[in-house]
């Protein structure tokens, strides 16, 4: 027990730690979709008692990262086309709203953050040999997410931002799918141009940025679905 606490580093609770680990394992695909999670396996895997595990499972079920059927345990939901559409639809509706708010309320610091995160994202597309720390495509993904987050960060709506975060988390499950056929060349080309354009529109507080963002997200949706339906 002391080991667990020291392992977490901070004064986090055990259930919080288990929650994070389990969520990461689900999103990263370590636990394959459709597989049922056996209680005793989970207890061994995360080395904790029943109570924190149950609390973590309850939270994940509430956030729809897991499905629970009475007396038959929990399982990772199978990805479906209709679910992808559902998630992206909500995400687009909410991000539109958030961006509209950000355009109204954003200040200089907000603008600076956008430029900074965009810069970091573009840097992650450069060849590795110059950088001290090689940047992988995963690293680009992380910075990509940070960029999108920075656009709407100025929206004075904590609930809205939190919901968007949840929806983005949901799409994380399809990360591998999204990145299929998306090599460094493509990121340096089309995608980079699109992000540049988006940033310019946002910094200019152009209302057209709303539609542009919607279309940008919708293109991702279409890509994910087309890959998903080829199976």
The one of a copy of itself, DNA, none whose footprint includes residue 185, by CB under 5 to 8 A per kind, is: none
The one of DNA, a copy of itself, none whose footprint includes residue 38, by CB under 5 to 8 A per kind, is: DNA
CA distances, 53 to each of 74, 155, 161, 168, 229 (Å): 12, 35, 27, 24, 35
> Using CB under 8 A, which residues numbered 82 to 101 contact a copy of itself?
82-83, 86-87, 89-90, 93-94, 96-97, 101
| CB 198 to a copy of itself: min, Å | 20
Applying CB under 8 A, does 156 fall inside the site for a copy of itself?
yes
Nearest of 188, 212, 211 to residue 198 by alpha carbon: 212
Question: φ and ψ at 11, to 5 degrees?
Answer: -85, 35
The one of DNA, a copy of itself, none whose footprint includes residue 72, by CB under 5 to 8 A per kind, is: DNA
Rg (CA), the chain: 19
CB nearer DNA, residue 67 or residue 122: 67
Interface residue list for DNA (CB under 7 A): 1-2, 4-5, 11, 13-16, 36-40, 48-52, 54-55, 68, 70-74
The one of a copy of itself, DNA, none whose footprint includes residue 122, by CB under 5 to 8 A per kind, is: none
The one of DNA, a copy of itself, none whose footprint includes residue 74, by CB under 5 to 8 A per kind, is: DNA
Q: Which string of x and - marks every residue 43-72 that binds a copy of itself (by CB under 8 A)?
A: --------x--xx--xx--xxx-----x--
* Positions in the binding site for a copy of itself (CB under 8 A): 11-13, 51, 54-55, 58-59, 62-64, 70, 82-83, 86-87, 89-90, 93-94, 96-97, 101, 156-160, 163
């Amino acid at each position: 027990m002391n080991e667990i606490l020291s392992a977490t580093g901070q004064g986090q609770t055990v259930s919080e730690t288990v929650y994070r680990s389990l969520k990461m394992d689900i999103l990263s695909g370590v636990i394959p979709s459709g597989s049922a999670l056996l209680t005793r396996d989970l207890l061994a895997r995360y080395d904790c008692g029943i109570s924190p595990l149950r609390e973590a499972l309850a939270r994940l079920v509430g956030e729809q990262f897991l499905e629970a059927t009475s007396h038959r345990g929990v399982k990772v939901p199978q990805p479906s086309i209709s679910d992808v559409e559902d998630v992206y639809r909500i995400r687009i509706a909410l991000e539109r709203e958030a961006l509209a708010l950000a355009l109204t309320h954003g200040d200089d610091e907000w603008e600076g953050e956008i430029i900074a995160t965009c810069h970091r994202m573009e840097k992650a597309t450069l060849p590795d040999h110059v950088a001290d720390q090689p940047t992988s495509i995963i690293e680009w993904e992380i910075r990509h997410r940070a960029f999108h987050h920075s656009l709407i960060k100025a929206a004075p709506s904590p609930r809205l931002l939190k919901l968007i975060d949840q929806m983005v988390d949901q799409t994380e499950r399809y990360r591998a799918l999204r990145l299929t056929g998306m090599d460094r060349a493509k990121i340096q080309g089309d995608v980079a141009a699109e992000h540049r354009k988006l940033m310019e529109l946002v910094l200019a507080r152009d209302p057209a940025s709303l539609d542009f963002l919607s279309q940008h997200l919708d293109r991702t949706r279409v890509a994910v679905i087309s890959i998903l339906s080829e199976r």
